Amino acid sequence: FRDAYHLAGIELPDFHREEDWWDKGENLYLDNLEANGFYQVRADKAQPGDVLICCFGTSTANHAAIYCGNGELLHHVPEQLSKRERYTDKWQRRTHSIWRCRAWQPSAFTGICNDLESALISA
């Protein structure tokens, strides 16, 4: 989600991490979100731009997505382009927590959406 937030004008650090850090006792997301201006929100209060922290194949939160609104999320799978998906029951079960950036402005989503539209046009 760091690249998407960059498009929205919000710079986040690229934290040093080892491969499969979640299997080595690290908790990259939860250890760093608050210190970088995020606070946790309830699922029923999710807004476009909020970060969904998810657990895939482990009980440690190891994947992030951005909630787009209208039941959609944006995420990046290794070796693939970022993509939008429906925020289905599968995703909801895997969601560990939802976080909002204090610096986020609703208009900031425009940069992310423009980038997605540009990718569709050039594809």
Burial of 30 (0-12, 13-18, 19+ CB in 10 A): middle
Assign 51 to helix, strand or coil. strand
Which of the listed CATH numbers 3.90.1720, 2.60.120, 3.30.70, 1.20.1430 matches domain 2-114? 3.90.1720
Give residue-wise pLDDT tens across range 27-72. 888 889 999 999 999 999 999 999 999 998 888 899 999 998 889 9
How much is the pTM? 0.85
